[in-house]
Structure 1
Amino acid sequence: MKSRSAISAFFAAVISGLIWILVAVAGVIENSGGAWSQDVRNVFFRNRSYSLMRKWMIDVTPTAWSLCIWEFIYTWNTLWVVYCVCITCRPVSDKISTGDTVICSVNAFPPLFHWLWGLCGASHLAWFFFWDREILVGSVFFQVFVVAACIGCLYVSYTSVDRNGALLQSCYPWDLWVCRTLVQNGIAMLCTWSAILFLINVASILTYHGAIPSSVSSLGVIIVIAVTLVSWFILDTFVLDRWVRYTFAVYPVIGWGSLSMLVQHFQPWTNSTIITLCIFGLSCLIFIIRVPLVVWKSFSHPLYMSHTLPHVVRQALPKIPSPNQPDPTASTVL
């Protein structure tokens, strides 16, 4: 019999998974261009995303082709959502089971993680329709919820993986690497791109409704992105390495966004262009440096070495005799 925590995680995973599937389907419909899907699209949406971006354009509005990143984000996150739902249906482990307690799979993705992800998906759906109806303030409001829910999901995932890292590494290494690669990078990707669009939409509101020049509001967006990039690199490398070592997605997403801004609004020797070019170069440089750095750290400073496995797990794991101690199961020849 599964524990109550496992049942709660199952329902939370299924509900949040269904919400995310709705988000992915809505995103595909919104960006569809084929004739067969045009009628379906017109039922739910009134405008195309980039037509609205052109209508509310400022000096940092990205290009149309940059929005194809949404398909990548939807695909990446759908993969781990399906995986999470599947592992909550996984039977009791034959490696570690005492009574009705399953230790590994539930702790990797606790119920709070799934509920926060469901909040993220619901907020993303609401943002879709508010933005489509040109309710700018409402859309920005829900974008805040998307970013905040993503940060909450990442916090729960990082702390859960760190707390159960030794256990996962010993018994469920596949779950551990799914958390590191698919889950944490997928959520970080969604969080970063949503935050960039949030800043651009806030600047658009200030420009069109606050009578602030586009050059000023756009420069503010670029400065915030630059400060965030440098701050995250410092925290990522020197402060939060224990938790976020394998999260790479922030840098390529920022590089993608800054490249699209450069292509759309390149004006030599202007402050905005110079700072955006620096952001693009720095994000690429950090990503190139960080990959071999993490590989080196994985061998020289592996994680979870100071963690202690629970007593139940140590008993369940196979016993390896010491080199100086004879194997008690071996037969003795006189």
Structure 2
Amino acid sequence: MGDCISVRVLLMLLALISYLISLTFNILALFGPWTGAFMQTTQYVLSKSTTHLTPDRWVLFLWDVLNVWLIGMFIYLIHNLRRREAYTWMYTTPAVLPYGFYLSWIVNSILNMAWLFLYDKDFCVCHRKMVPTLLITALQAISNCVIIMFSCCGLVVYGAWLHKYHNNDLWLIRILVQNGVALYATWWAVATFLHLTVVLDHQTPIPKTDAAIMVLVLLQLGLIGWFVIENWYLDKHVRYILTVYPVVILVLAASVANPATPGTHIDIMSAVILAITSVIFIVRIIMVLWKHKNKPLYGEEELRSPVDIARTQKLIFM
């Protein structure tokens, strides 16, 4: 057990350090050549990759909200290192966030730094690196989904026990961890769609208007598909994750409001999808509130101790 505790602490600290390093590089990217690490500023690159869907710059405040949220998450996780339960330390029994959670986070931070350097060179050297950058952007979104998966698996296993004995921690994990990472994942998923538009504009003969329409259709289909999956297939896993739609709503609103993009029927289509997404979000909130009251996830079933449960888990989920 002592070895498990040491490994978990090490992975948690490595995840935090990797996140702080990637955050530092993101800040350095804002200053570009002045830092010696980047060839140009992030805003300059954004100005050179404008498409019909490029959002206005005010939406970048989401990045600040996201980082504050994730820092809050890590503060909570580090705080748990000093909390002890009757069985053992709270962060290891129950291990709501398993080894896979921290390993996935480290991979995600590495991908984030790789994306920064590739994106920096996309428009300074040539356009040939745009596809690899698009792939890394998509991998960032996927790795975030893997992080959410590990957190959801942990709550499925230990959620009933937390609900009975540590309900505050249950809600903190839902709010700080699951919704924080979902916000992060959605940001990168939307970034993937926007970068796909850039690739289609610069590396294919597809007209820019058609490329924008294609990406908007894919985005709308993805949102509808996720709405169906989260409400009817993964409800017990993701019921209280609500930060997906606000990100899409704000990015679409910033896209419509961007004065740098030409006013075409793309704006009308974006506004329609914005309205549909807003309605879906309202319906989602109503459904979650109704299910919370009428279909609670946890009943009065007999609970096993976290120690007994941990013995049945595979290593990556421990």
Give the TM-score, by structure 2 length.
0.86
Contact 2:156 2:237 survives alignment (8 Å): yes
Say if 2:211 is the partner of 1:212.
no
Aligned to 1:327: none
Aligned to 1:9: 8
Instruction: Pick closer, same or farther for the CA change 1:80–1:312 going to 2, 3 Å.
Output: closer
Letter in 2 for 1:30: A
Structural mapping, 1:2-151, within 5 Å: 2-31=1-30, 41-87=34-80, 89-93=81-85, 96-97=86-87, 105-134=93-122, 135-151=129-145
Deviation (angstroms), 1:250: 0.5
Contact 2:93 2:307 survives alignment (8 Å): no
Contact 1:60 1:200 survives alignment (8 Å): yes
| Inter-partner Cα distance in structure 2 for 1:233 and 1:158 | 17
Aligned to 1:304: 298
Contact 1:188 1:247 survives alignment (8 Å): yes
Instruction: Pick closer, same or farther for the CA change 1:65–1:102 going to 2, 3 Å.
Output: closer
Contact 1:20 1:78 survives alignment (8 Å): no
| Inter-partner Cα distance in structure 2 for 1:209 and 1:172 | 53
Q: Percent of pairs identical after alignment?
A: 22
| Deviation digits for residues 199-256 of structure 1 (CA, Å, limit 9, x no counterpart) | 2212212221223211121111111111111111122222221111110110000101
Letter in 1 for 2:302: T
| Partner of residue 171 from structure 2, selected from 177, 183, 186 | 177
Aligned to 2:126: none
Which moves more between the two structures, 158-167 or 194-203? 194-203
Two-structure CA RMSD over aligned residues (Å): 2.4
Deviation (angstroms), 1:10: 1.1
Contact 1:5 1:111 survives alignment (8 Å): no
Deviation (angstroms), 1:81: 1.9
Q: What secondary structure is seen at the aligned counterpart in 1 of 2:54?
A: coil
Contact 2:144 2:182 survives alignment (8 Å): yes
Contact 1:6 1:106 survives alignment (8 Å): no
* Number of positions where the alignment pairs a residue of Structure 1 with one of Structure 2: 300
Structural mapping, 1:233-272, within 5 Å: 233-264=227-258, 265=261, 267=263, 270=265, 272=266
| Inter-partner Cα distance in structure 2 for 1:81 and 1:198 | 26
| Inter-partner Cα distance in structure 2 for 1:251 and 1:12 | 31
| Inter-partner Cα distance in structure 2 for 1:83 and 1:105 | 16
| Inter-partner Cα distance in structure 2 for 1:313 and 1:8 | 17
Which moves more between the two structures, 215-224 or 42-51? 42-51
| Deviation digits for residues 110-133 of structure 1 (CA, Å, limit 9, x no counterpart) | 111011011111111111111112
Please list every run of 5 or more consecutive structure 2 residues that lacks an aligned counterpart in the other structure.
123-128, 309-318
- Larger-Rg structure: 1
Deviation (angstroms), 1:152: 0.6
| Inter-partner Cα distance in structure 2 for 1:295 and 1:281 | 22
| Inter-partner Cα distance in structure 2 for 1:276 and 1:12 | 42
Letter in 2 for 1:22: I
Contact 2:158 2:306 survives alignment (8 Å): no
| Inter-partner Cα distance in structure 2 for 1:161 and 1:307 | 16
RCO (CA 8 Å, sep 6+): is it higher in 1 or 2?
2
Deviation (angstroms), 1:262: 0.9
Letter in 2 for 1:79: G
Q: What secondary structure is seen at the aligned counterpart in 1 of 2:82?
A: coil
Which moves more between the two structures, 209-218 or 153-162? 209-218
Which moves more between the two structures, 137-146 or 284-293? 284-293
Contact 1:104 1:172 survives alignment (8 Å): no
| Inter-partner Cα distance in structure 2 for 1:266 and 1:237 | 37
Q: What secondary structure is seen at the aligned counterpart in 2 of 1:302?
A: coil
Letter in 2 for 1:69: L
Which moves more between the two structures, 220-229 or 302-311? 302-311
Instruction: Pick closer, same or farther for the CA change 1:19–1:297 going to 2, 3 Å.
Output: same
Q: What secondary structure is seen at the aligned counterpart in 2 of 1:175?
A: helix
| Inter-partner Cα distance in structure 2 for 1:244 and 1:79 | 20
